[in-house]
Each structure stands twice: as structure tokens, then as C-alpha cells.
Amino acid sequence: MLKELFVKLGIFLILLIILDKGIGYFIEKIYFSQDHGYYYRTTYVFEKATPDIIILGASKASHHYVSKMITDSLKHSCFNAGEDGYFILYQEASLRCMLKRKYIPKLLLLDLNDDEFEKNTYKTEDRLSILFPYYQRHPEIRDIVELKSPFEKYKLMSTLYSFNTVLLPALSGSIDLNNRKESEKKYAGYVPLTEKWNGTIKTIESHGQLLDSVRIKAFEEIIKLTRENNINLVVIVSPAYKVYKGGYNPTTETLQRISEKNQIPFWNYINDTTYLNNRNYFKDVRHMNDDGAQIFTANVITRIKALKAFQYVASKPALQDIK
Amino acid sequence: MDRIEILKTLNTVFTDALDSDEDVILTEGTTAADVNGWDSLTHIQLVVAIEKKFKIRFTSKEIQTWKNVGELITSIEGKIK
Amino acid sequence: MIFNSIAFIIFFVIVASLNYILPAALRWIWILAASIFFYMYVAPLYILVPIFIIAVTYFGGIQIEKAASASKRRIFYLTCIILNVGTLVFFKYTNFFTNMLVDFANYIRQNLLHVEASVHNIFLISIFAPLGISYITFQAIGYLIEIKRGNQLAEKNIGYFATYLLYFPKVIAGPVERAHHFLPQFTLQKKLDFAGVSAGLKQILWGLFKKLVIADRLSIYISTVFDNTAMHSGYTLALCAIFYVFQMYADFSGYTDMALGFSKLLGLDLMPNFNRPLAAKSVTEFWRKWHISLSTWFGDYFYNPIAIAKRDWGQWAVIYASFITFIVLGFWHGANWTFIVFGFLQGAILTIEFLTKKIRKNLRKKIPGAVNNTLGVIFTFCYFAFSLIFFRANSVTAALDIIKGICHFKGSLFIPEQYMVLYPLFGIGIMLFVEWMENRSHSAWGYFSHQNIIVRYSAYLAVSILILLLGVFDGGQFIYFQF
């Protein structure tokens, strides 16, 4: 009985492996032939983008920084690489891939959430599957993916598993039906939101929240990498429509402490009444709409101009000028 | 009344009580699974109809232990003698 | 440990390999050891609860069997039943009942005495219900009843008996196994053969497909909508109510398939729990095909005894027994009024179907069979979907809000990303097609048991590839959406 079982299981497994690699090959092709859409942003940032100024972050980044405004007023190209729903480990991975291909931005704006480090916000391991398609191509991010579980290394030997879920979105990212490619190009990564929020302000109780040391370590790693490569880093917590009870927020306090220690500029907008008093600037509790984003970006630009480090950068020619 | 007669009578009782589309044909080996419409809901009605027809009264234990029509007939046989 | 986790797979490979090597007579010891480990994996101390139930039921069963007088037998029997039911009620329903008393006291204070509603529940217990407690106690109770009725001999080997109640493939989500089906398998010592192992592997594969590709996919969409019902349109809520039937079925039957499959790999058969219920043409038929092990349990130990005792009431006996049975069956699912309403709705429709049997039969003669069958299947599906709204909601008020929302035909369908709806629809399509095929050919496992080896292997491979490509393997799939 054992012999028959192993022979048949063996045949099944061999066929499965052949199909896995065969079908996987085509899906991989489709995935990396995308030229617009949600997943393309990741490929673009990991493998292609070379702007002078890059914005890394999650949805708050993608909806809050009007890249065109930054390019126009600072005379340096800018790309907004914010990816909805993906947090600091994703940004760490982005930075590693950028450095691996020798792309050194002149200025890196890292937008973090006001609850970035809180364990309750999301499960760290859960947000890593977006990196699966890049696991084989980018050895530099493998240890981040492996944080997910000790078995991930073996599971990712399957090409189909590496491209789990992404087939349909990848297809729509390679076939441009609604001319999305053009409009995405125009916005340089910025994703404007139009609705206006009509809810009340949210009061957050952050006392007793546990912080995730894995994510704090990722933040320190990002600082270390930018320092080693002479990248000017600014850490920003952009506005949100909420107030923290007693002004206590463990994430921003941690960011403040680590940034100060490393002499990194840290701009915290979380208690800024310019935004808190203007519900019209928001689309929901966490995100601003286009109106808010314009005001906010203008303010960020003014502050960038005032940065000593940036005045030095600005004196050098922009990347495109050299090309 | 012998077993064959009981079976015949039962057949008419079943056809009336189950009110099913097809004719019911019972044998001693027939079980609930073989008869369309004989389920736990109709079982009780069947029992009541049989009790009326033969003017007998089953115990709860009897009702729950029949495995096929044959056993049911044995129960009836024991009561009408 | 859930079945679709790496930890379980490692555990199972070890258990199954050693089980295969061991002489058949010793296997139960190894399986019992594995079951105890499985039970203690998360919360070790909780093993004391099933140990208590096993001890009570094992010794109780023997005492009932050899009791000299009927009254003595009755005393042993009732004591054992009370201890079992008491354990279940204590762990699962204490908070529900004490909260009800407290709410009642506060209601009286406020509305009759006009004082502040200040009674607090000091009896709240903050413990989890032990793993599988509802299943374990129900199997124990069924065993005791059968011994009392004289249909079952009391098991003399406490090891066999403990394995019966603790057997790890069925401890989380059933089936509610019967002693007369399970226990003899230890003495029969069926040989583990290729056919059994191969059938087990096929069943696991199909179960994984239903669980990962359909149920877990749907759950992402459904929980996003149902966690924020106020923000969604009637169309979206209606779609979710329909989807929820598929989620529930794919999840539960998929998990059961895995349980039965793993069990086959150990050489033990568990009873089937589903028989293509979505093809049922009436709710009455549906309950004969859905969670069969539980509905037959309730049939044998609740419905039949009640209906038989009251049979002189005529039709009322059936109606009375249906309501009682299904309200208790609903409540068995959880300590919440929502489950009681769920059970009540089943009782109500069974009564209606029972009373309209003649009318429907006459109507059937007038319309073609195919139309009639289709209408029956659709009605059954919709009614079950409707009752599941209560099953899914956190409170009766929340369920009523969803129903109100559905009646409001306005707004648009919420589709964050097309694939989030298309993937599960694709999976549902495959599942329904396979079940339709099985229904037509009256054979289980559709293409998995096709005579042609190429068709068979293609089926295994296609399902495996779909699982890898479209399955949900972790919490990494989420709907990026916030209010």
C-alpha cells in the first residue's frame, strides 16, 4: 500500500511542480508587464523610480502629498510612493530595493501613521504578502518577508503561491482600458480624494497600548540606511481628524525620541489646529481630501525650503538636468 | 390477521397518510429511507394512523426502535392477538 | 490548531505515520495521546472538563446498564444527564442567563419602581468555553440515552470511550458522532488500505478548496460590509446575505470534509455531515441534508420523543415538537437571542411547510416539475439566507437593522476591487457545478473519482492550482476601506 501511495503521490507532486512553474511563469510575466495600477506602484518604486524627492508611506502618504506641487515649487522631480494599507515594513523594503539598485534620492519624506507602532492597529505579519512577488527577484528583502513565519521560505518555492490573489488585478494593471496610465502619470503617485467628512472628531485613548518592537526596529533601520547613504530624511506624521486623550500618543512620542537622538527632522501635524478646526479638509478620520492635501503640501514645501540640508541639495543640479 | 394481511393494510395506511405522488409498495424489509416522504415529521402521523386503524396503542419505546416494516408488523401482531 | 495551518500538518504527519507503523490493536492508545495533546495545545488546564465528562459518562453508562431496578436506573441516568447538561450550561450559558436576570431586575427598577437601574451582574464569569464542549457533551448525552433505551451496550474499555469523545479530527466542529458507529471501529480494526487513504486525501483537498477559495474569500468581503452595515446600500447587504449562505456552507462543509478526510487517513470513519443541502427543494428537506449529525441527534433525542408523547394532539404534536426542537437547536449554537430567533424561524417554516403539504402537492400537479423544483430550491435558499442574518448578527436589533437596510433599494453595490467578488463567485461556480454533477450521477466526488485517470488527475491538479492561486492563506487579504 505504501509503495502505491508514494508512487502516485510522487507523480501528482511532479505534475504539480511542472504546472506551478509553467503557469507561474506566465503569471509572473503578466505581473511584471503592468504599467499602471495599485501593484504597479510597488514594482515602480522597487525597480524603476528615480525622482529627486520620494515620499514613502501608506495611504496617508498617497492622499496627502501633491507631488506635482512639490516638483513645481522645488524644481526637483518628486514621486509619491504611498501604498494604501501597507506600513513601515513595506517602506523599509522599498528603501532597501531602491538602494540595491543604486538609486539614492536627495530627499526622502517618510510619512508615518499616528498609530504606526501600536500593536492593535494591524497584525505585522499580515501586511507582508504584498512582497511575495518580489521575494525571488529581491534577495535584499527576504528577511522582511520571513518575519511572517518560519515556513514562508518553503511556501514561496511555489511560484503560484508567490502570485496568490494578484492575477486579476495584475491583468487589469497591464491592460489599460480607462486610460488610467495617463492620469496616474499626471499625478506622479498622488491619489486625490474628493468626498468631505461629516462625522465628529474622534477621541483616542492610547494609554496602555502595546507597541510593536519589530516595527520600531524597522524605523531605526530606515534611519540607519539613509544615514549610510547620505539621504536627507524627514519623518512626518500628517494630519488626522482625531485627538488623543490627554495629548498622549505613544507612537509620536517614540518617533520624537528616536528622531531627536539621530538628529532627524520630525514634523508632527497630529495636534495642528489648522487641520483639526477644518473638517472640510478631511475625507475620513484618517485621510484628508484634495483641499486638505493642497494646504498641507504647501506647508510641507515651505518647511522643506527652510531645511539647511535641503538648501545644500538644491544648490546641486537636479537629476534630470544631468541626464 | 396474519403478517401478509397486516402488510396489506399497512400499505393502504401508508399511501393515505403519506399522501405521496407515487404509490407506496411495502415489504418486510422496507425502511424509512426507502419510502419517499417517510421522515421524522410524517412518522408520527403514520403511527397515529396505524394505531387508529388497528385500534392499538404503542409504547414510546416501540415507536423509536423499529428498524423496518417487518419489526413494525411484529409489534402490531403482538398487540392484536 | 486549525486544520489549514502548518502546525497542524506537521502534527498530523507525525500522528499518521506512527499510527500506520503501530499494530492495529495499539493504535487507539496513540490516537488518544494525540487527541489529548491536540486538546491541551492552547489551554492545557481545560482538559479537566472533558476528563470530568468522560469519567461521569463512562461510569454512568455502566451503572445504567447493570442497575437492578428501573428506579435505580432512572436515578443514574438523570444524574449523568444533569451533570453533562450542567457542564455545558455552566461554561456556555451562565453569562447569558445571569445577564437576563440582571436586565429584568433593572427593567423593573426603572419602569415599575422608578429608581435608578443600578443592579450589576456579579456572577459574570470571564472564562472561555472549553474546546468543543457542545460537541463533547452532546455525544455523551446521546450515548447515555441509547444505553437507557437499551440500544447500546455500555463501553467497558475506558480508553476506547475517552477516544470516542476526545478524537481530535472531530473535536472542533463535529460531526456529532454516534457511539454505535464509532466505537465498534476499534475492535473491528479495519486495515489501512490505499483506497481509504486516497479517498481521505481527496476529501481533504476538496475541503481545503471550499474553505480557502470560497469561505475565507467571502469572509473578507462579508465582514467588511456586516461590520459597518449602516454605511452600505440595500443591494450590498442583500448580496452579503446571499454570500453568507455560501460562506457558511463552504466553511462548515469544507472543514467537515477535512475532518472526515484526516480521519480516513487514520483508518477511522466519521459520519457524513452534509448531503448537498443547497439542492434541497424545501426547508424540511434542507435540514435533512445540513449538519446531518446534529439534526438527526435532535430528531432522535428531542423531536421524536416529544412528538410521540404528544401524538394524540394530531397536527399540533408536530408543530409543538418542531418549535421546541429548533429553538433548542438554535440556542445550542451560542448564548444569544439571535440564535433563538434563528431556531424559531426554522420551526416556523417547518410548521408552514407541514401544514401546506396538501396544497403544495396539488399545486405541483399544475406546474411543470422543473419549474417547481427550481422555485423550491430558490425559496429554500432565500429563507435560509434570511434566517442566517440573525445567525450572523451580534444582536437581534442589529439583524433587524440589516433587514431594514435590505428593504431599502437605493445606492450602489459596494465593490472595492472586482477580484474580491469575482474570485469567490468563480469558486462558488465550481462548487455548484461539481455538486450538480454529483447530484445528477448520484456519485460522490465528481471528477475526483472519474474512471479515466487523465480526467481524475487533471481534477486534482486543477483544484490544487486554484487553491495556491486564489486561496486565502492568512490575514494578509483585507479590504482597504475605512469610514
Beta-carbon contacts of residue C52 (< 8 Å; ≥ 6 apart): C87
- For A7, which residue in chain C has the nearest alpha carbon? C194
Measured in degrees and rounded to the nearest 5, phi and psi for residue C318 equal: -65, -45
First to last CA, chain A: 69
Per-residue model confidence (pLDDT) at position A86? 86
Across the range C392-397, mean pLDDT stands at 87
All domains in chain B, ordered by first residue = 3-80 (1.10.1200.10)
- The pLDDT tens digits of the residues spanning C266-312 come to 988 899 999 889 988 889 889 988 999 998 899 888 888 888 888 87
Q: What would you report as the CA-atom Rg of chain B, rounded to the nearest whole angstrom?
A: 11
Per-residue model confidence (pLDDT) at position C121? 67
Q: Does A84 touch chain C (CB under 8 A)?
A: yes
Per-residue model confidence (pLDDT) at position A17? 95
Closest by alpha carbon to C206, among C456, C421, C11? C456
- Report chain C's mean pLDDT, rounded to a whole number: 86
Order the strands of the A78-80 sheet from edge to edge.
A78-80, A53-56, A107-111, A232-237, A266-268
Interface contact C314-B21, CB threshold 8 A: no
- The pLDDT tens digits of the residues spanning C19-37 come to 888 888 888 899 999 999 9
Q: How many domains does chain A have?
A: 1
C-contacting residues of A 273-312, CB under 8 Å? 284-287
pLDDT-derived band at A321 (thresholds 50, 70, 90) equals very low
Q: Give C471's contacts in chain A (Cβ within 8 Å).
A: 164
What are the structural domain ranges in chain C?
Answer: 28-188, 194-274+415-470, 277-406
Residues β-bridged to residue A232: A107
Would you call C106 exposed, middle or buried from its count of C-beta atoms within 10 A (0-12, 13-18, 19+)? middle
Across the range C183-201, mean pLDDT stands at 84
- The pLDDT tens digits of the residues spanning A128-181 come to 888 999 999 999 999 999 988 888 889 899 999 999 888 888 888 888 777 777
| pLDDT surpasses 90 at A26 | yes
Residues β-bridged to residue A53: A78, A107
Per-residue model confidence (pLDDT) at position A320? 47
First to last CA, chain B: 8
Q: Give C469's contacts in chain A (Cβ within 8 Å).
A: 27, 160, 163-165, 167
| pLDDT surpasses 60 at A318 | no
pLDDT-derived band at C243 (thresholds 50, 70, 90) equals very high
Across the range C69-74, mean pLDDT stands at 86
Identify whether the C-beta of residue C422 lies closer than 8 Å to the C-beta of residue A172: no
Q: Report the residue count for chain C.
A: 483
Q: Give C311's contacts in chain B (Cβ within 8 Å).
A: 44, 47-48
Per-residue model confidence (pLDDT) at position C270? 92
pLDDT-derived band at C477 (thresholds 50, 70, 90) equals low
Interface contact C311-B39, CB threshold 8 A: no
Would you call C192 exposed, middle or buried from its count of C-beta atoms within 10 A (0-12, 13-18, 19+)? buried
Q: Is residue A322 assigned to a domain?
A: no
- How far is the C-alpha of C458 from the C-alpha of C442, rounded, in Å? 21
Across the range C440-462, mean pLDDT stands at 79
Per-residue model confidence (pLDDT) at position B22? 66
Q: Between B21, B39, B60, which is nearest C308 by CB?
A: B60
Across the range B24-43, mean pLDDT stands at 77
CA distance C328 to chain A (A): 37
pLDDT-derived band at A109 (thresholds 50, 70, 90) equals very high
| pLDDT surpasses 70 at C126 | no
Interface contact C149-B61, CB threshold 8 A: yes
pLDDT-derived band at C482 (thresholds 50, 70, 90) equals very low
Across the range C431-446, mean pLDDT stands at 79
| pLDDT surpasses 50 at A98 | yes
Provide the angle, in degrees to the nearest 10, between the axes of the packed helices C48-66 and C133-149: 0
Per-residue model confidence (pLDDT) at position C213? 93
- How far is the C-alpha of C64 from the C-alpha of C61, rounded, in Å? 5
Interface contact C465-A16, CB threshold 8 A: yes
Closest by alpha carbon to A166, among A135, A122, A137, A132? A132
- How far is the C-alpha of C319 from the C-alpha of C353, rounded, in Å? 10
Beta-carbon contacts of residue A268 (< 8 Å; ≥ 6 apart): A236, A237, A252, A255, A256
Interface contact C423-A148, CB threshold 8 A: no
| pLDDT surpasses 60 at A247 | yes
Cell numbers that stand for B56 in this block:
392499538
Identify whether the C-beta of residue A258 lies closer than 8 Å to the C-beta of residue A248: no
- The pLDDT tens digits of the residues spanning C328-379 come to 988 888 888 899 999 999 989 988 988 887 788 788 778 887 888 888 899 9
Q: Give B37's contacts in chain C (Cβ within 8 Å).
A: none
Q: Give A155's contacts in chain C (Cβ within 8 Å).
A: 473
| pLDDT surpasses 80 at A126 | no
Closest by alpha carbon to C399, among C255, C158, C226? C226
Q: What is the number of helices (H) and of strands (E) in chain A?
A: 16, 7
A118 vs C411 pLDDT, higher one: A118
User: Which residues on chain C place their C-beta less than 8 Å from a C-beta of chain B?
Assistant: 149-151, 284, 288, 299-300, 303-305, 307-309, 311-312, 314, 317-318, 321-322, 350, 354, 357-358, 361, 364
> Side chain identity at A227, as an amino acid letter?
R
- How far is the C-alpha of C430 from the C-alpha of C424, rounded, in Å? 10
pLDDT over 70 for what percent of chain C?
95
- How far is the C-alpha of A190 from the C-alpha of A62, rounded, in Å? 5
Measured in degrees and rounded to the nearest 5, phi and psi for residue C163 equal: -65, -40
- How far is the C-alpha of C290 from the C-alpha of C312, rounded, in Å? 30
Per-residue model confidence (pLDDT) at position A43? 92
Per-residue model confidence (pLDDT) at position A314? 60
> Side chain identity at A240, as an amino acid letter?
A
A139 vs C5 pLDDT, higher one: A139
Domain range spanning residue A300?
2-316
Q: Cα C19 to the chain's mean position, in Å?
A: 28
Q: Cα C5 to the chain's mean position, in Å?
A: 20
Q: Between B21, B48, B61, which is nearest C311 by CB?
A: B48
Cell 445567525: give the residue.
Answer: C391
CATH number at residue A290: 3.40.50.1110
- Report chain B's mean pLDDT, rounded to a whole number: 80
pLDDT-derived band at C166 (thresholds 50, 70, 90) equals very high
Interface contact A125-C470, CB threshold 8 A: no
| pLDDT surpasses 70 at B33 | yes
Q: What angle is formed at CA A219 by the lines to CA A215 and CA A224, rounded to 5 degrees?
A: 140
